[in-house]
Amino acid sequence: MERRPDSHGKVRDIYQAGENLLMVATDRISAFDYILPDEIPFKGEVLNRISAFWFDKFADLVPNHLISIDVADFPEEFAEYKSYLSGRAMLVRRAETIPVECIVRGYLTGSGKKTYDADGTVCGIHLPAGLTEASKLPEPLFTPSTKAALGDHDENISFDRCVEIVGADVAEQIRDYSLKIYTAAAEYAATRGIIIADTKFEFGIIDGKVTLIDECLTPDSSRFWPASSYEEGKVQPSYDKQFVRNWLTANWDMTGDAPHLPADVVEGTSARYREAYQIITGTEFESMKGNE
């Protein structure tokens, strides 16, 4: 898309659209807070359409910012870009972003497993002894983090610190919404053969109300595990970008510029994203590009 975005994140470009915003999910991929030099085919469209699926599914649980993903509903100024935007863009209401990442963990893995092995805690929360890789936690944990600027790293914070940043009322609302959405999504995903190990939500304020924004339960913001092969005590295969993280961990020391991904990793990651879409939504993935 030739028009320059008004702002952008690691994988999203944002354009002013009158009183609203147009959020475009690109095919860029980030891992360990680095934007990688290779794009993943269909990734942006998968992320956008999965988010739209969840926004619609949980509209009665929590307000969200989605207006439409139909290019016919976008402002006329974007008409010339319809082919590119189709499927990968959503028109959303403008929100005042709450500066906290809302992470919910249902299983022990990733950075949580490292701190648990060190001192028996996850983000400062003490857990029972005897847990191992991929253990289901006694109950889902809300473990917020700071929302870092582009290029910086998010930092885990306590709930008390979250209260200091956003106030008790907002902190309690984003915690309760996050746990409620995660629990409902995990129950639904289980019927589709998927375990949602953990996920990350973002919220904003629209018309004075806490509102779910950005993306929702996508392979970029969550760990999706196939339930059929779940086995406690080992690292699980996943439908998300863990495939990329694993390759980077094995082949890069996290210094200097991020390396190019091998073709099989790019293709395998794209296939995992599309498979996640199909399993979650129950519909075959067919790109909307060019079908507007």
Domain boundaries of the chain, sorted by first residue: 1-94, 97-240
Q: Reduced to 3 states, what is the DSSP secondary structure of residue 168?
A: helix
In the chain, the N- to C-terminal Cα span, in Å, equals 16
Whole-angstrom distance, CA of residue 184 vs CA of residue 54: 10
- pLDDT per residue of the chain (292 residues) written in tens, 0 to 9: 778 889 988 899 999 999 999 999 999 999 888 899 999 999 999 999 999 999 999 999 999 999 999 999 999 999 999 999 999 999 999 999 999 999 999 999 999 999 999 999 999 999 999 999 999 999 999 999 997 665 556 789 999 999 999 999 999 999 999 999 999 999 999 999 999 999 999 999 999 999 999 999 998 899 999 999 999 999 999 887 878 988 999 999 999 999 999 999 999 999 999 999 999 999 999 999 755 4
CATH architecture of the domain with range 97-240: 2-Layer Sandwich (3.30)
Whole-angstrom distance, CA of residue 146 vs CA of residue 62: 22
Judge whether 108 and 39 are in contact, CB under 8 Å.
no
Whole-angstrom distance, CA of residue 10 vs CA of residue 193: 30
pTM of the complete model: 0.92
**CATH class belonging to 1-94:** alpha beta
Whole-angstrom distance, CA of residue 262 vs CA of residue 267: 9
- Nearest CA-CA partner of 87 in 279, 277, 280, 282: 277
CA distances from 208 to 14, 16, 40, 63, 185 (A): 22, 21, 37, 11, 26
Whole-angstrom distance, CA of residue 48 vs CA of residue 276: 13
DSSP count for the chain of H helices, then E strands:
7, 16
Whole-angstrom distance, CA of residue 287 vs CA of residue 282: 15
Q: What is the structure's pLDDT at 152?
A: 59
Sign of the CA dihedral with 161 first, then 165, 167, and 169 last: negative
- Nearest CA-CA partner of 238 in 266, 263, 268: 268
